[in-house]
Amino acid sequence: MIEVENLCFTYPNGKDVLFNVDLKVQDGEFVAIMGENGAGKTTLVRHFNGLLKPTTGRILVDGNDTRKSSVASLARSVGLVFQNPDHQLFCETVKDEVAFSLKNFGYPEETVERRVRGILETLDLMSYIDSSPFMLSGGERKRVALASVLVWNPKHVVLDEPTIGQDYQQKDRLRNFILQLNTQGKTVIVVTHDVEFIAECKPRVIVLSTGRIVGDGPAVDILTDEQLVNKASLVRPQIAKLMSSLSDVGLPTNVIDLFTARSVLASKLERI
């Protein structure tokens, strides 16, 4: 469990970023943190593996206070994938990159090999196993960064803007993969602006705006709340806009994903 208690954070330059944030993420939950550029989303999640320490308040990861634990020990249970893969990648081949953490944790050679191949297959990266990460496209580098964290199987996975630069098929794959991780009992926390992606995943959504939590609830409730969505510089998903603008002719307003919209409309239109 990740517990955030009355967290305030001020950068050394004096910039206040987070104000009295209270938050509890249970083991095995799937949570999206959404909000405008500069809202403090990245700053918040960097507290989860101890990269940043609270100015006041505290963070407990599985009961351990992050101020009293090292990043190295926290990282085993909290895997954080950065927004910008170039902040994370440094090895000469994709294989070395993804194997790096496992080798450091002291796993035997065969286990490392098996796990690396497994994760590269899942993320459609096998054909690049011997390529330099820097020869890959932006979207592919992003997936290598993801692979290099997921490979050590952390209990809590935090993904900072995982869909940037990913095409539709990759997003679909990512969504299935996240849902799969979640079914395995992992906590998944996603920082994102991608309302269309979240509309299809439907996790619990926490809305952060100017350093404060302004909304917390199921995706369907949050992403159809026009006022709240506007406040956090988001937009409603296309399907939500479509359905709500047709509520006067009998369409439900609590639909945000393609699948549900299709079945609602198909049954309505069949009768015409």
Considering the complex, state which of residue 55 and residue 131 has its C-beta at the smaller distance from other proteins.
131
**What's the CA gap between 206 and 186, in Å, rounded?**
18
**Residue 89, burial from CB neighbour count under 10 angstroms (0-12, 13-18, 19+):** buried
Per-residue contact track with other proteins, 40 to 69, x per CB under 8 A?
--x---------------------------
If binding is defined by CB under 8 A, does position 218 make contact with other proteins? Answer: no
Which segment (92-100, 148-156, 211-219, 237-245) binds other proteins by CB under 8 A?
Answer: 237-245
Considering the complex, state which of residue 128 and residue 152 has its C-beta at the smaller distance from other proteins.
128
Which segment (67-75, 113-121, 149-157, 241-249) binds other proteins by CB under 8 A?
Answer: 241-249
If binding is defined by CB under 8 A, does position 2 make contact with other proteins? Answer: no
**Residue 63, burial from CB neighbour count under 10 angstroms (0-12, 13-18, 19+):** exposed
Per the DSSP assignment, residues forming a β-bridge with 30 are: 188
Considering the complex, state which of residue 109 and residue 121 has its C-beta at the smaller distance from other proteins.
121
| Candidate list 71, 129, 179, 235; residue touching other proteins; CB under 8 A | 235
Q: Which residues bind other proteins (CB under 8 A)?
A: 13, 15, 35-38, 42, 83-84, 86, 132, 135-140, 161, 164-171, 193, 195-196, 230, 232-235, 237-239, 241-242, 245-246, 249-251, 258, 261-262, 265-266, 268-270, 272
